[in-house]
A and B are shown apart, each in its own frame.
Chain A
Amino acid sequence: MMIFKTDKALSLDVSRRFLPFMMAFIIFISSIILAVSGIASHMLNALGNRLTNDAIVQVLPNMNARDPRAELETTMDRVRKVLAADTGVKSFKIPTDKEEAELLRPWLGNMGATSLGIPLPRIIILNPAKNVDYDRLSIALKNISPMINIERSADFSTELKGRITSLKLVLDLMMLIIAAAAAFAIIHAVQASIVANRGAIEILRSIGAANYYIASRLSNRILLSSIAGAAIGFALSIATLYYLRSSLAGTSGALDIPTVSLEAAFVLPVVAAVFAKFISFFATMFYLRGKPS
């Protein structure tokens, strides 16, 4: 059976030597960046959903007391009474141990502090009224115990959110730079392929091949190289991310790699290959445009 292959006419594919490796590297780096970006998003989400209340009363245990846990509970009863009596407090909620662990998860990881065997500081989430006077409330609470603080979480979370958002912006910028670097590398690969196949291109043109025909053949070659490289990069990145995820799973305070990052790692090679095909097609059309017909 005879085998005809359309793009065999452009045989000299100089990009084959470096494009797959470059693409593998790009996919690997992009996947890692995406994972870190996913972690940042996760943290932002946690901050947005769980710590946007206006204030938190933090009751710290007195570690010098004979029974810190018992004293902490007594203090909590007195704090409840003060808060219930304050007209500036609409309502308040004392999170359960589980909820508290969840709140602290972005900082302390899945295990939380309970595994450390120390009494957790108790927190009370305030739902303040418009006329709340934090200074007055603070004095009233300090009268119960100097170990009580009011954390206005808006101030705290705004700063943290700002830092995480900055980190995300840097990561997004890095992705853009990587995409631009990939585009430049593909454009150079196209240039090299056009030079290497100059003779074949002239012959193809002399028998009626339009620029579109040549560009689609060249870009198909680039696509194949990209798919090969993307597959390698994908395998490496998935292996790395799963390894990190599984090895950090049991670590106290470890940051979780969100599942969405892993899902994105699956999409990335496809996006990269299609991106390579488009860039190479239009680059070829551009370079051939200037040549005599």
Chain B
Amino acid sequence: MSQERKEPRPLVEFDDVSFRYFEHQEILKDVNFKLHRGEFVFLTGPSGAGKTSFLNLMHLNLMPTSGTVKLFGRNIERLTPKDSAAARRKIGAVFQDFRLLPHLTVLENIALPLRISGKSDRYIATHVPELVEWVGLKNRMQSLPDTLSGGEKQRVAIARAVIGNPDLIIADEPTGSVDDEMAGKLLYLFKELNKMGTAVIIATHSKLLPAQFGYPVYSLGGGIMTKVGA
């Protein structure tokens, strides 16, 4: 008797998803994509290819023009604001513009997801400095974002994204502003989290970066998504 293996539910699922801003040209055309727990993928493509829009759909910042996006098994268009907030707490996102709060210190910015999740002061005081040290910002703990370089801001954004041990990490050009050594270190952080089951998707215009890791690579161009590597 043959036993049919049931495919585990993907964390992210795009079914024939198209997206356009108002009346502009379609940025994404009938995109199909699945990301399961424990997967690590790269998303490549030239600037303006739609990588950020794709990630924004995944992060509930945008809604598809047509098709269905499911996040943690639920259609994102049917999520209430409360559900959206709960879903976002399971996602660690690194944005190109970092989205740091300018009046909070490095330490406080990184602690924010833990605060929002209701973690205790003791937990925060133990875990946040460890991570800050790991990303090489030990001496900048009490600095404000405006006093940091682009690379330092990026490291703060990455630390904030991973501090809550999320189910899914979405990173948009996470190593664009750091040197190769730091880029390798940060990606190692993602890799370690991925080993523990966190799904990771990294958007980058670099072709070298995906090649170093051997993870699946998806390419976006002209609104079409294709799997190009690994």
Report whether chain A binds chain B. yes
A residues with a Cβ closer than 8 A to B are 2, 4-6, 8-9, 11, 200, 202-213, 288-289, 293
Q: Which 6 A-B residue pairs are closest in the complex by CB-CB distance?
A: A208-B89, A210-B85, A208-B88, A293-B84, A293-B81, A11-B103
Which single member of B84, B86, B124 contacts A4 (CB below 8 Å)? Answer: B124
Known: A4-B124, A293-B84, A293-B85. A208 touches B113 (CB 8 A): yes
Tell yes or no: B6 within 8 A of A by CB: no
B160: A residues at CB distance < 8 A: 207
* Supplied contacts A6-B115, A208-B117, 18 more A-B pairs, CB within 8 Å: A2-B125, A2-B141, A4-B107, A9-B112, A200-B101, A205-B85, A206-B88, A206-B95, A207-B89, A208-B88, A208-B116, A210-B81, A210-B85, A211-B81, A211-B82, A213-B116, A293-B81, A293-B84
A209: B residues at CB distance < 8 A: 85, 116
Closest Cβ neighbor of B129 among chain A residues: A2
28 sampled A-B residue pairs with Cβ under 8 A: A2-B129, A4-B108, A4-B115, A8-B104, A9-B104, A200-B101, A203-B99, A203-B100, A204-B116, A205-B85, A206-B61, A206-B88, A206-B95, A206-B99, A207-B93, A207-B113, A207-B160, A208-B85, A208-B87, A208-B89, A209-B85, A210-B81, A210-B85, A210-B86, A211-B82, A213-B116, A293-B60, A293-B80
What distance in Å separates the Cβ of B136 from its nearest Cβ neighbour in chain A?
Answer: 18
User: Is the pair B103, A8 in contact by a Cβ cutoff of 8 Å?
Assistant: yes
User: Is the pair B79, A293 in contact by a Cβ cutoff of 8 Å?
Assistant: yes
Q: What secondary structure prevails in chain B residues at the interface with A?
A: helix
- Chain B: interface residue total (CB-CB under 8 A): 36
Report the bound CA distance from A211 to B81 in whole Å: 8
User: Is the pair A8, B108 in contact by a Cβ cutoff of 8 Å?
Assistant: yes
Report the bound CA distance from A211 to B93 in whole Å: 19
Closest Cβ neighbor of A203 among chain B residues: B99
Which single member of A203, A210, A289, A293 contacts B101 (CB below 8 Å)? Answer: A203
Report the bound CA distance from A208 to B72 in whole Å: 15
Tell yes or no: B121 within 8 A of A by CB: yes
Report the bound CA distance from A63 to B81 in whole Å: 85
Tell yes or no: B220 within 8 A of A by CB: no
Tell yes or no: B137 within 8 A of A by CB: no
Closest Cβ neighbor of A213 among chain B residues: B116
Closest Cβ neighbor of B80 among chain A residues: A293
B residues with a Cβ closer than 8 A to A are 59-61, 79-82, 84-91, 93, 95, 99-101, 103-104, 107-108, 111-113, 115-117, 121, 124-125, 129, 141, 160
Report the bound CA distance from A2 to B111 in whole Å: 12
Known: A8-B103, A9-B104, A200-B101. A208 touches B79 (CB 8 A): no
User: Is the pair A206, B116 in contact by a Cβ cutoff of 8 Å?
Assistant: no
Which single member of A8, A9, A202, A210 contacts B82 (CB below 8 Å)? Answer: A210
User: Is the pair A207, B81 in contact by a Cβ cutoff of 8 Å?
Assistant: no
B85: A residues at CB distance < 8 A: 205, 208-211, 213, 293
User: Is the pair B112, A204 in contact by a Cβ cutoff of 8 Å?
Assistant: yes
Report the bound CA distance from A211 to B80 in whole Å: 11
Report the bound CA distance from A4 to B106 in whole Å: 11
What distance in Å separates the Cβ of B229 from its nearest Cβ neighbour in chain A?
Answer: 30
A293: B residues at CB distance < 8 A: 60, 79-81, 84-85
Report the bound CA distance from A9 to B60 in whole Å: 22
Report the bound CA distance from A86 to B59 in whole Å: 95
B111: A residues at CB distance < 8 A: 4
B124: A residues at CB distance < 8 A: 4
A208: B residues at CB distance < 8 A: 85-91, 113, 116-117
A207: B residues at CB distance < 8 A: 88-89, 93, 112-113, 116, 160
What distance in Å separates the Cβ of A237 from its nearest Cβ neighbour in chain B?
Answer: 36
A200: B residues at CB distance < 8 A: 101
B82: A residues at CB distance < 8 A: 210-212
What distance in Å separates the Cβ of A45 from its nearest Cβ neighbour in chain B?
Answer: 52
Closest Cβ neighbor of B82 among chain A residues: A210
Closest Cβ neighbor of A11 among chain B residues: B103
**Which of A2, A212, A288 gathers most chain B CB within 10 Å?**
A2
B61: A residues at CB distance < 8 A: 206
